[in-house]
Chains A and B, each alone.
Chain A
């Protein structure tokens, strides 16, 4: 059984959908951030595998960008979430509607 590119793509798709479903259904902000990370990494995997198959270096280049953005976003997001969680123990995303219109 040869492991082809489609296996990687399928794995990426599965990871992405797991992350998406998790994002939409979980209420703990930390978990939601982890799901977002999962989705981003799934996308990274897609980029790399297709880059390898098509021989295009652009795929790996995009991964760099995504990694950087993900890292900065995690830093900021975790800082905000931790600050909020410290104030209100056990707060879920449903409670945080201060920015409503």
Chain B
């Protein structure tokens, strides 16, 4: 079975090819089932390979299957081959498993979309690229998968391309990733220059056996880290991930939660011998980048109103935890958290997709509320996911996060503190999300600020209209009285008209005053319908239409994956329970790939219990504060939702302004330089020739006598010249 490990990426590739060239005959939903079937086949192949590998002796758990020679050039020989070892097969398992579930989910989610077949083609292509990334037996093949997932991410983010924002998001993702790819490529060159090969087996075995020069290993590790930052959205290359939420939610779940973004951590884990040989500040840099990004993103997630943006920043934050783990030498913890994160983050994203699907595309949490009554399955599974990410024992997230925090304490208490604060914030913002979405009042039918503004404007317009009408009536009455036909009646009418005009004017002024003094509508009307004031009857029709709206639960194709993922989020911790080496199954399993570079905890068991308790307590604090702020009205929630946080510390704005301003100006200047200076030099040659010709032309005036004079002068000159040179 291990020889057939090439089947794992082959199934989704076949799916992609059939869906692309199979034509329109494969409509909805056949295309979706075909793609899901391909992923399921891939999962079964992975499971088969896994069992065979697990059956082998511990020291024999590595199998390389070469398909063909890819690039033979000079000293460089790169094959297309697959390395099946514990690390790659673990990655494959959850990529294919979670991927298959998300494919199934998409059948329901993308129902009715015009690009249904194209979507599944791209999803399968993505799966193929991701599996090549993970299974490749050399850096170049991993890079093929690396760029491939980047390209598929581009295609899928800009899937609904008629909207400019989606197209821009896709482009931003690709280019930001490419900056990271620059680092990866330099690392590959350095590796080849040092080792003469890029195959993992050779490079890692050689590095583990001897010692690579520190500076060389530092360069390689650092450049791979740059690549990892780009792909796994760490600061400062995280900017693409929040924008990537423009893509359909299954894309966000698969690519930007469970698989593609974990490639960076996979890469660093794979090359752990090189990191071990690098300078000491490299792992420290990795750890601090991870911790800093985790905290940074968590603060932003606190103030977001779009449900997917919260989850996006949450992903950046959790990826930061994984980098923190890698930097502390806790590779097993990183992989463990990667797996549990795949489960609960995919669950959360799919759940949010279910919510968005049920709310007909609305992603603003201010319009949600109380959805647990309408979507019980979604709510139930979402709560499980929430408990997992908040680090509540015994759910999966607790075990993995706790392990990372333990290793962080082992490395530096300051790192641990940052991790703990992030955990508190994580619990807080996720609780906030759950409360705003599933609990409290259903706010969908509430009037919204722009609608209230519209109502006030309508009221003002009506009042103005009344004043104008009254004035017109008054003028008519005045005219009638001046016409002088019916004196008393006319006088009466005039008095009445005057009174009416006065009344209308007073009415109008009252409304203007009321409009000026009306209170600001709260962003989140958590505890009661917002007071609209006297214009309640002027609200636009959409408000009334919304009160009939009933969010619906999702079909079984969407609900089933949620349930499966929820079960996994509950049980996922079992693979690495920290109680004894027998329960630390993941560590034992991954040991051959770690070459002994896993750091050993030097803290005692007692300290570990204290740390765990503190982590749980921190999570509890976060939950309690969020409940107090959003459910019980005991703390003012707007204190947490600072505008600078909602604006993501203005970093994205800074980068955009730079790119659009000085960046663009610089490029424009270069283009102008080309057309004026460089091309100008060429044109000036031509101009010079023209000018010189113009000068010389003056000698040709067409007059015979001038030419004759020239001949004469020349002849005389020649004679003089010859005479002066001869001697008589």
Q: Please list the residues of chain A having a beta carbon within 8 angstroms of any beta carbon in chain B.
A: 20, 23-24, 27, 29, 32, 93-94, 96-101
Contacts and interface: CB of A to CB of B under 8 A. Distances in A.
Contacts of A24: 705, 708-709, 712
A97 B703 contact: yes
Interface stretch (B157-165, B370-378, B557-565, B694-702): B694-702
Given A20-B712, A24-B712, A100 B702 contact: yes
B712 A98 contact: no
A14 B432 CA distance: 122
B697 A101 contact: yes
A94 B712 contact: no
Contacts of A94: 703, 705
B712 A93 contact: no
The residue in A23, A94, A98, A101 that gathers the most chain B C-beta atoms within 10 A of its C-beta is A101
A96 B700 contact: no
Interface string B437-465: 00000000000000000000000000000
A32 B711 CA distance: 15
Given A24-B705, A32-B704, A93-B705, A101 B712 contact: no
Contacts of A32: 704
A24 B704 CA distance: 9
B172 to A, nearest CB: 62
Nearest to B698: A101
Contact of B702 (A23, A27, A98): A98
A64 B29 CA distance: 107
Given A20-B712, A24-B709, A93 B699 contact: no
The 9 A-B residue pairs with the shortest CB-CB distance in the complex, in nearest-first order: A101-B700, A100-B702, A97-B702, A101-B697, A99-B702, A93-B704, A100-B701, A97-B703, A23-B708
Given A99-B702, A101-B700, 16 more contacts: A20-B712, A24-B705, A24-B708, A24-B709, A29-B704, A32-B704, A93-B703, A93-B704, A93-B705, A94-B705, A97-B701, A97-B703, A100-B703, A101-B697, A101-B701, A101-B702
A101 B697 CA distance: 5
| Interface range for B | 10 to 19
A59 to B, nearest CB: 20
Contacts, number: 35
B697 to A, nearest CB: 4
A32 B708 CA distance: 11
Contacts of B703: 93-94, 96-97, 100
A101 B702 CA distance: 7
Interface of B is mostly: helix
A29 B712 CA distance: 18
A94 B705 CA distance: 8
B718 to A, nearest CB: 15
Nearest to A25: B705
26 contacts: A20-B712, A23-B708, A24-B705, A24-B708, A24-B709, A24-B712, A27-B705, A29-B704, A32-B704, A93-B704, A93-B705, A94-B705, A96-B702, A96-B704, A97-B702, A98-B702, A99-B700, A100-B700, A100-B702, A100-B703, A101-B696, A101-B697, A101-B698, A101-B699, A101-B701, A101-B702
A100 B700 CA distance: 5
Interface in B665-709: 696-705, 708-709
Contacts of B699: 101
A99 B704 CA distance: 10
A70 to B, nearest CB: 17
B624 to A, nearest CB: 98
Nearest to B703: A97
Contacts of A20: 712
A94 B707 CA distance: 12
Contacts of A101: 696-702
Contacts of A27: 705
Contacts of A93: 703-705
Contacts of B709: 24
Contacts of B697: 101
A24 to B, nearest CB: 6
B702 to A, nearest CB: 3
A54 to B, nearest CB: 18
A97 B699 CA distance: 12
A27 B708 CA distance: 12
A66 B248 CA distance: 99
A29 B708 CA distance: 13
B571 to A, nearest CB: 97
Contacts of A97: 701-703
Nearest to B697: A101
B699 to A, nearest CB: 7
A64 B703 CA distance: 31
A99 to B, nearest CB: 5
Contacts of A98: 702
Contacts of A100: 700-703
A20 B708 CA distance: 9
A96 B701 CA distance: 10
A9 B699 CA distance: 35
A101 B693 CA distance: 10
A69 B705 CA distance: 21
A73 B712 CA distance: 19
The residue in B702, B709, B712 that gathers the most chain A C-beta atoms within 10 A of its C-beta is B702
A94 B712 CA distance: 18
B389 to A, nearest CB: 88
A24 B709 CA distance: 7
Nearest to A26: B705
A94 B702 CA distance: 9
A20 B702 CA distance: 20
A59 B712 CA distance: 24
Nearest to B694: A101
A98 B698 CA distance: 14
A97 B706 CA distance: 11
A78 to B, nearest CB: 15
Contacts of B708: 23-24
A31 to B, nearest CB: 12
A27 B706 CA distance: 12
A46 to B, nearest CB: 14
B66 to A, nearest CB: 76
The residue in B698, B705, B712 that gathers the most chain A C-beta atoms within 10 A of its C-beta is B705
A101 B699 CA distance: 8
Contacts of A23: 705, 708
B690 to A, nearest CB: 13
A23 B701 CA distance: 18
Contacts of B712: 20, 24
